[in-house]
Chains A and B, each alone.
Chain A
Amino acid sequence: MNLTEQLTYELPMDLSAERQILGILIKHPAQVDRVVDRLRPAHFMDPAHRRIYEIILDIYNKQGRISYTQIYNRLHADSITDSPAELLIPLTESFVALSELEPSLEILLHKEGIRRLVQACDAVKALALDPKNEDLELIQAKAQERIFAATQSIDATGDDVKNLLEVLNKCYINLLRRREGDLDAYGLSVRFPSIDGMTTGFKKKDLIILAARPSMGKTALVLNMAANVAKRDIPVLFFSLEMDDEQIGDRIVLSELFAHKEGEQHLVTSHEYQGRLSDEQFMVTQKVFNELYHLPISIVDKRGMTVPEIRAKARKFKAENGNLGLIVIDYLQLIKPPDNSSRSWTLIVGEMVRELRDLAGELDVPIILLSQLNRGVESRENKRPMMSDLRDSGNIEEFADVIMFLYRDDYYNPEKARAEGTEGLVEVIFAKQRKGSTGTVQLRFIKEYTRFIDEYTK
């Protein structure tokens, strides 16, 4: 098709089904309660039908009964027609058996869903062909947003209200899964028993903030978690705004190499991994590569990503990987804020965090968002992080479901740590848990292998 060729088509509609629904609702007003959460005025293509439906909803909400007389008078008052009777008489002639309500409703929902898709495609076409839009990635992100919104609306059939039976059924299935030893039945286990013990697994829809000063091991810990999750064939999407894909790959390999020992001796040290390996070391490393190849970890390594870009890529990934289990974003302060915003940095960061929390809810997946801490922590005697240390904190505290801090005493007091044998000990401080208790657990960080060990499992 020539790009300049105009595409002409009629939007799908079914005026007969529209008339049937209106006729049934006027005759059986109590049925309004059955359809009101699924049927919006926009589902009616004919403007007069749309208006009649709005009037029906209004009258029913105020009076609980509906009559042609009332609708006639409201249409007359609206002045949208000289003869309301001409609009209403066809409704009285519709076949108004109650059993026709559900099939007619399905037709309207279907037609409106298709219309939304067609309109979204039109909008995407206009967006793509607008010469003012030059940034391809921005166009792609907006296009995805439009299409995603259009597909979402088709599914939005008002299942917000769930009865207790449905809810308890789901709880009971989880109970059985836990009884059978499925550690992911309550939340997503990251296979660090101390952390899982505190969280009972990261919950779907939760935004988890993992914050620490530089060099505490934030990225290493989430990469360890991501690998542990992916080893159970649960897809992980990792947004790295700092490190490139090869750096991340090397870190994952190194972390796994830690487990390959002969006695107490590591077969491949991290230093050796960076250099030329012996045949034996190469075999060991190749075995690690083979173990890792199949892990469902996907990495987006791009600096300067915006929240809409992250959202678009996450939606696309979720659409292709329905069982997506975890999203990691490394890290908050590297996300590019929206252009031309005159608001304060604190407000902008708060807005970005809120949007990422909404994304976790929309995709039904936990998101771990790494964050830096402000320098204030360095000026205190006790350098254990506190909520107020969250850089540009603003609303982070309010929007996050879980806030975890990492603290290594050996970073600040290396000699003391050497003397006390506490080198590498990391405190994981749970400063906030919306669905659990706060407290601190300890892990050991083997820095040269970027590997965390749970002392609990030793």
Chain B
Amino acid sequence: MGDLNRTKLIFLDTCRNLVELGELSKEEYFEICDLLDRLEELDNEEFKAELRRISKGLSDLIG
């Protein structure tokens, strides 16, 4: 759990930087936050699908 939360925080930092670079909108950023809060409820495929819906660019970046 500790590792998962650590990963979430690093991912959030990355997303926040993307917002500041204009690569991600604020609306997208908050949708991602919401997605991270529901992460434990989703399996890997559901997460990827949700992420793709929010931001195709970011989804492609993660692979």
Across the two chains, which residue of chain B brings its CB closest to A65? B37
Report yes or no: B2 in contact with A93, Cβ–Cβ below 8 A: yes
Contact present for A85 and B10 (CB under 8 Å): yes
Instruction: Kindly state whether residue A76 has any CB partner on chain B within 8 Å.
Output: yes
> Is A73 among interface residues, defined by CB-CB distance under 8 A?
yes
Q: Kindly list chain A residues whose C-beta atoms are within 8 Å of the C-beta of B6.
A: 89, 92-93
Contact across chains for A72 and B2 when beta carbons are under 8 A apart: no
Known: A69-B8, A88-B9. 10 other contacts (CB 8 A): A67-B36, A67-B37, A68-B5, A68-B8, A68-B9, A69-B37, A84-B9, A85-B12, A93-B2, A94-B2
Q: A76-B16, A92-B5, A93-B2 are in contact. Are A69 and B10 (CB under 8 A)?
A: no
Can you name the residue of chain A whose Cβ is closest to the Cβ of B36?
A69
Tell me which of B3, B13, B37 contacts A85 (CB under 8 A). Answer: B13
Selected from A72, A93, A96, the residue in CB contact (under 8 A) with B12 is A72
Q: Number of residue pairs across A and B with beta carbons under 8 Å?
A: 40
Range class of the A interface residue count: 10 to 19
Q: Does B54 contact A (CB under 8 A)?
A: no
Q: How far is the CB of A160 from chain B (nearest CB, A)?
A: 35
Which residues does chain B contribute within 8 Å of A92, judged by CB atoms? 1-3, 5-6, 9
Look across to chain A and name the residue whose beta carbon is closest to the beta carbon of B37.
A67
**Listed A/B pairs (27) with beta-carbon separation below 8 Å:** A27-B1, A67-B37, A68-B5, A68-B9, A69-B8, A69-B33, A69-B37, A70-B33, A70-B37, A72-B12, A73-B33, A83-B13, A84-B9, A84-B13, A85-B9, A85-B12, A88-B9, A89-B6, A89-B10, A92-B2, A92-B3, A92-B5, A92-B9, A93-B2, A93-B6, A94-B2, A96-B2
> Which 6 pairs across A and B sit closest by C-beta, in order of nearness?
A92-B5, A85-B9, A85-B13, A69-B33, A92-B2, A67-B37
Which residues of chain B come closer than 8 Å to A73, judged between CB atoms? 33
Q: Which residues of A contact B1 (CB under 8 A)?
A: 27, 92, 96
A residues with a Cβ closer than 8 A to B are: 27, 67-70, 72-73, 76, 83-85, 88-89, 92-94, 96
CB neighbors of A among B1-40 (8 A):
1-3, 5-6, 8-10, 12-13, 16, 33, 36-37
**Inter-chain contacts of B33 with A (CB < 8 A):** 69-70, 73
Chain A residues with CB under 8 Å of B2's CB are 92-94, 96
Q: Which residue of A lies closest to B5 (CB)?
A: A92
Report the nearest A residue to B6, measured CB to CB: A92
Q: Inside 8 A of A94's CB, which chain B residues have their CB? A: 2
Residues of B within 8 A of A85 (CB): 9-10, 12-13
For A68, A69, A73, A76, the residue with the greatest tally of chain B CB atoms inside 10 Å of its CB is A69
In whole angstroms, how far apart are the Cα atoms of A76 and B16 in the complex?
10
A89 to chain B, nearest CB (A): 5
Q: Which residue of B lies closest to A91 (CB)?
A: B5
A66's closest neighbor in chain B, by CB? B37
Chain B residue nearest to A68 (CB atoms) is: B5
Chain A residue nearest to B35 in the complex (CB): A69
Q: How far is the CA of A423 from the CA of B8 in the complex (A)?
A: 90
With a cutoff of 8 Å between Cβ atoms, the chain A residues found around residue B10 in the complex are 85, 89
CA distance A83 to B20 in the complex (A): 13
Q: Min CB distance, B28 to chain A, in Å?
A: 14
In the complex, A94→B5 CA distance in Å? 12
Closest to A95 in B: B2
Q: Which residue of A lies closest to B14 (CB)?
A: A85
Q: Is B13 touching A69 in the complex (CB atoms < 8 A)?
A: no
| Neighbouring B residues of A70 by C-beta, 8 Å | 33, 37
Query: Smallest distance from the beta carbon of B1 to chain A beta carbons, Å?
Result: 7
Complex Cα gap A72–B16 (Å): 10
Question: Can you name the residue of chain A whose Cβ is closest to the Cβ of B13?
Answer: A85
User: Considering the chains assembled together, what is the distance between the CA atoms of A91 and B21 in angstroms?
Assistant: 28
Q: How far apart are the CA atoms of A93 and B1 in the complex, in Å?
A: 9
Q: Which of A76, A83, A92 has the most CB of B within 10 A?
A: A92
Q: Which of B1, B3, B5, B12 has its CB near the most chain A CB atoms (within 10 A)? A: B5
Residues in B with CB closer than 8 Å to A69 are 8, 12, 33, 36-37
A378 and B41 CA atoms in complex are apart in Å by 83
B9: which A residues are within 8 A, CB to CB? 68, 72, 84-85, 88-89, 92
A70, B30: Cα distance in complex, Å = 10
Contacts of A88 in B (CB 8 A): 9
Nearest CB of chain A from residue B10's CB, rounded to whole Å: 6
Note all chain A residues with C-beta closer than 8 A to B13.
83-85
- Kindly list chain A residues whose C-beta atoms are within 8 Å of the C-beta of B12: 68-69, 72, 85
The residues of A that contact B37 with a CB separation of less than 8 Å are 67, 69-70
> Shortest beta-carbon distance, A445 to chain B, in Å?
78
Q: Please measure, in the bound complex, the distance between the C-alpha atom of A92 and the C-alpha atom of B5, giving whole angstroms.
A: 6
Contacts of A27 in B (CB 8 A): 1
A83 contact set on B, CB distance < 8 A:
13
